[in-house]
Chains A and B, each alone.
Chain A
Amino acid sequence: MSSSTERVSLDTGGKRDTVPSWTGVSLVARRGVRQAVLAIVLPLAVVAIWQFAGRGGSLFGGVLPAPDRVFEAWRVWAFGPAGLGLNPYSGTWLANVLFSAERVGKGFLCAILVGVPTGIAIGWNRLSAGALDPTIQLLRPIPITAWLPFSIAVFGIRDIGAIFLISLGAFFPIVLNSAQGARDVERNLIRAALMMGAGRWTVLRRVVLPASLPSIFTGLRIGLGIGWTAVIVAEMVAVKSGLGYVLWDAYYVGRMDVVIADMASIGLLGLVSDLVIVQLERWVLTWRRLQSFQS
């Protein structure tokens, strides 16, 4: 047996090289810094040109404020004294961010809880695909904006209406990508699990679900993006708080500096929440990352 193990070990040579070494990590870090510098050049240039063009007043006949005024408005909005005063936005930034983020969080969670199991059922079982998929495909082309009157009529001007719209918007990409993931599970993995004595339910939970996760995460990222769109639309019309509400309100009273600061806030929140999902994905799908690292 010993002679054969020696021969067997022939093909293990050099395998450890594929694990990144510390010099590799510092190289990655340096590349990260370079990428961050590269990424910030374009927005800085745009702000600089905008500032230059708008000095001595503002652009488009006084409609568009220069960046310094936007930053000042943002500063007061975020850190100014709250409550009484001439500026109704002063000090309310964090509260409005939390209102919006909470709605997105709740709606997104509902979309996951319904979308992932439904998607896997569609991708895994022909019967549920036949029963569910046509209805989903029929509802999918209806934009969330078209659901607004329906939502207000049914739920009124309340949080639940916004949450409904967010979960509806996020549901479709999540369900479609989960279904795709479940459909694409390698047949031999399922056969292997059955051969080792797994029942259908075990196969679903321990093979189909993990194998679908890369695809599910794609759905989550798209769904969260749509969730942010939906929350702004809903808050502009169907509730009286949050970044979307401030956006529309500031526009009506002519505070374009607040409008732009609000837009930038939405962009930042979308970016940060996407980064959270990406980090979660990297953590859950280590095996997947190693796979692409290898090839």
Chain B
Amino acid sequence: MGTIRFDGVSKTYRGQREVHALDDVSLTVDEGEFVALLGPSGCGKSTLLNVLAGFEKVSSGKLLFDGATISSPGPDRGVVFQEAALFPWLTVWENVVFGPRVQNLARSLYESRARQLLELVGLTAFADALPVQLSGGMRQRVGIARVLVMNPRALLMDEPFGALDAQTRLSMQQLLLDVWQQLGTTVLFVTHDIDEAILLSDRICVMSARPGRIIKTIPIELARPRSIASLTSPEFVAYKAEIMADIRITAHH
């Protein structure tokens, strides 16, 4: 469960000038795999996530999630947004249980799980706080918990740590590694941070801009479980050198 398949997907935005955000993208993400989409801003990596989430429609090509065509957003694909996108008028707890509540699930089905997840992301003491009273990192942890509570088959993360300071970003990456190593959900993770992509993922798809294409796929064979200590290992540095070389080549094109 949680298999993603892009088959020759293109996405064109019509307007005064046509923008080819995605051009003939093919990509398969297997169940439980962690794949990072790495590329400069404007390369279409967010578009790729948005069509998979069901927020936008593909212009051509086939996009399948567990073998079925995607027609609308749904709780089987949990999206974590860059700015967390929490409801500012709801408390942390109400934000976390928003999904099960709007789906009219019985309280007994989600309450203990929601409490465990709040514990997992270290926010039990802040259950009654409003998002505005939290730091950026804490808000993003709520954003992750409210998605995990729905037990999604895939996690779609759109530069979730991009707006955080360096130290907070490290702690969030560690948290995500821990959570993912426990749950084993399929993850598609958009980032422009090379370190982050190597640290977290099983496979990195490097994208180019205009038109948005996947130009290279690099499997990351660092041993699991990983932690932020892996950031300084020689294998890590070797991967980083390889990817930087790739990006430099595309920049010259």
Interface on A for B, CB 8 Å cutoff?
A: 1, 4-5, 7-12, 15, 18-19, 186, 188-189, 191-199, 202, 206-207, 210-211, 213, 285-288, 290-291, 294
Q: Name A9's contact: one of B83, B122, B146, B178 (CB within 8 Å).
A: B122
Q: Confirm or deny: B217 has a beta carbon within 8 angstroms of a beta carbon on chain A.
A: no
A287 touches B89 (CB 8 A): yes
Q: Name A192's contact: one of B79, B121, B131, B165 (CB within 8 Å).
A: B79
Q: Confirm or deny: B88 has a beta carbon within 8 angstroms of a beta carbon on chain A.
A: yes
The B192-206 residues at the A interface (CB cut-off 8 A) are none
B135 touches A8 (CB 8 A): no
A191 touches B55 (CB 8 A): yes
Kindly list chain A residues whose C-beta atoms are within 8 Å of the C-beta of B55. 191, 194-195
Over the window 85-112 of chain B, the binary record of Cβ atoms lying under 8 Å from chain A Cβ atoms (1 yes, 0 no) is 1111100000000110011000000000
Q: Is the interface of A mostly helix, strand, loop or mixed?
A: helix
B74 touches A287 (CB 8 A): no
Q: Report the bound CA distance from A142 to B87 in whole Å.
A: 39
Interface on B for A, CB 8 Å cutoff?
A: 53-55, 72-75, 77-79, 81, 83, 85-89, 98-99, 102-103, 120-122, 130-138, 141, 146-147, 150, 165, 167-168, 170-172, 174-175, 178, 227
Kindly list chain A residues whose C-beta atoms are within 8 Å of the C-beta of B54. 194-195
A210 touches B146 (CB 8 A): no
B98 nearest in chain A by CB position? A196
Contacts A191-B81, A197-B150 known; 19 new A-B pairs at CB < 8 A? A4-B174, A8-B171, A10-B167, A11-B138, A11-B167, A12-B138, A15-B138, A18-B133, A191-B53, A191-B55, A191-B73, A196-B146, A197-B103, A207-B87, A287-B88, A287-B89, A290-B133, A291-B88, A294-B132
24 sampled A-B residue pairs with Cβ under 8 A? A1-B120, A4-B171, A4-B174, A4-B227, A7-B171, A8-B121, A8-B172, A11-B137, A15-B134, A188-B83, A191-B79, A191-B81, A191-B85, A192-B79, A192-B86, A193-B98, A194-B72, A195-B53, A196-B98, A196-B147, A197-B102, A197-B103, A287-B88, A290-B132
Q: Report the bound CA distance from A194 to B102 in whole Å.
A: 10
Kindly list chain B residues whose C-beta atoms are within 8 Å of the C-beta of A198. 102
B150 nearest in chain A by CB position? A196
Kindly list chain A residues whose C-beta atoms are within 8 Å of the C-beta of B88. 287-288, 291
Q: What's the count of A-B pairs with C-beta under 8 Å? A: 112
Expressed in whole angstroms, the minimum distance between the Cβ of A290 and any Cβ of chain B is 5
Q: Report the bound CA distance from A213 to B146 in whole Å.
A: 24
B175 touches A8 (CB 8 A): yes
Q: Name B171's contact: one of A11, A15, A286, A287 (CB within 8 Å).
A: A11
Kindly list chain B residues whose C-beta atoms are within 8 Å of the C-beta of A197. 74-75, 99, 102-103, 150
Kindly list chain B residues whose C-beta atoms are within 8 Å of the C-beta of A291. 88, 132
B102 touches A193 (CB 8 A): yes
Chain B CB count within 10 A is highest, among A4, A12, A195, A198, for A195
Kindly list chain A residues whose C-beta atoms are within 8 Å of the C-beta of B171. 4, 7-8, 10-11
A8 touches B141 (CB 8 A): yes
Q: Name B77's contact: one of A7, A19, A195 (CB within 8 Å).
A: A195
